[in-house]
Chains A and B, each alone.
Chain A
Amino acid sequence: MSSFQGFSISEEEKDNHSKEIGGQVDTKEEINDYIAHHLKDAHDFHLFSYTSDSGERKHVGFSLPVIIWSSKGLVSFMSSEFHHDDAGHTIVEKNGLKFTKIHSKIYELDANATAVSFDDEHHATNAHKVLDFSITKSVFGILIAGLLMFLGFFSLAKGYKKGAIPTGIGRVLEPLVIYVRDEIARPNIGEKKYKKFMPYLLTVFFFIWILNLIGLTPLGFNVTGQIAITVCLALFTLVIYMTNGSKDFWAHTLWMPGVPYILRPVLAFLELVGFILIKPFSLLVRLFANITAGHSVVMGIAALMILLKAQFGTAGATGISFFLTLFLMVIEVLVAFLQAFIFTMLSALFIGMAVEEHDHAHDH
């Protein structure tokens, strides 16, 4: 696997497929496609495109490594080999296998196929999806977030060796750490047990928050809007609170005391469904939906610049779209924090429910 290629400008003929991503975006359909494409993960890092004076469409960005588990084992190559194609036109041959990319998914072509054929619903008929462990844009974003967290918090941790009061970036980070501890972990999990869960809660809080914020930059990340990411986060919370459940928690979940015996299995079923399905589902959907909706709306409003050009002229449409987008971005900055807070808060709440020990001398 070679290292990132650095910035490269690749050229593509304008008439090739102006409807494909990277072409000029003018119509409503193109805007919808563009937004949908942005919300998806991507295999290369695309910053922006423009049309040069000679009429050529230029893309600025860099390619990322593609790592896939094919029928012949692990295969890797740089995403630049797809030449920004996302419709299954470009076939990459590696290890005697043929790969192509359709809507941000990598397909392995059947042994004797030379080109992808589609059925009526635009599903590939002679190719199948492969397990894709590529360093996609989202993975790249996760790595950046991880790196930022390492840099920030290692320096904060190191700062305490010099003195009790942090300096530099630590001054900003320390109150946030204390905030997570005092406002999220302590009240929800309880004074006795909160310490054990601090690493998870802190990591998840800053992870989501940083990724939400990176998502608001023009770099075009949409990591916390990937369903796989939120499913993973919710599953972590699920595993943590299920494996740390106290005796009381299981007793109350599976065989609720103080209730007629006939109702107990019903309650146990409802409780289990609540803890195993509903709670994680609410976690993963809330984060996914909020971030996805935020990105869609911001991009939609930004697209007013194009859509209202006919009515208000270039300057008018740009002005309207600029102020609306600015307004939305301010809200999104709040949402970025809020969603990180809510996810961590609810995780702490669920963990708190599971580890709680009832005082039988007083209730029931």
Chain B
Amino acid sequence: MDIFNDFSIGLFAMQAFILIVLIFLLGKFAWKPILNAIEGREEGIKDALEAAENAKKEMQNLQADNDRLLKEARAEREAMLKEAREIKDKMISDSKEQAQLEGDKIIKQAQAAIEGEKKAALADIKNQVGSLSVEIAEKVIKEQLSDKDKQLKLVEGLLGDIKLN
């Protein structure tokens, strides 16, 4: 077969013309939008994957944060409970002490009062004994005045015997 005789310039020209038109039209209306769309989609997929990865990391961070917060809260609760218990104990012991002191004070006051009363009563008794003695002495004196000197010696003797406490 004679290849060069077969070469048709007309066919070559038609092919060149149609191919240029094809490249131009397809390039403008098909390849460009298709490749742009595919690229956009690939970009979108890449972004979405990255976003998902980031979200996952964020979730892990959040989880860790939550765990930490929970632990902290638990520790705080422990601490608060402990403190409360301590406060309670302290209050109880404080009030006990206070009560003790108050009691002691009251007792002391009572003792002082009793002492005072006792002293007063003794003074009173002394006075009464004195006046009684004076009365007795008056009566004795009135009766014994006859024997005035003897009586006086007796009274003195009696008084000397009565020792108060």
Contact = CB atoms under 8 A, between A and B. Distances in A.
Contacts of A228: 6-9, 11-12, 15
Given A39-B1, A199-B23, A200-B23, A139 B11 contact: yes
Given A139-B18, A157-B33, A181-B35, 19 more contacts: A133-B14, A136-B8, A138-B11, A139-B15, A142-B14, A149-B22, A153-B26, A153-B30, A153-B31, A174-B38, A177-B35, A181-B38, A198-B31, A200-B23, A202-B31, A228-B8, A228-B11, A228-B12, A229-B11
Say what secondary structure dominates the interface of chain A. Answer: helix
Interface of A: 36, 39-41, 68, 105, 131-136, 138-139, 142-143, 146, 149-150, 153-154, 156-157, 160, 164-165, 174, 177-178, 181, 195, 198-200, 202-203, 207, 226-229, 231-233, 235-236
Nearest to A68: B10
Contacts of B12: 228-229, 231-232
Name the residue among A36, A156, A195 with the largest chain B CB count within 10 angstroms: A156
A245 B3 CA distance: 31
A203 B22 contact: yes
Interface residues of B, number: 33
Contacts of A235: 16
B164 interface: no
Interface of B: 1, 3, 6-16, 18-19, 21-23, 25-27, 29-35, 37-38, 40-41, 44
A194 B10 CA distance: 32
A181 B37 CA distance: 13
Given A139-B14, A231-B7, A178 B26 contact: no
Contacts of A36: 1
A364 B61 CA distance: 52
Nearest to A170: B34
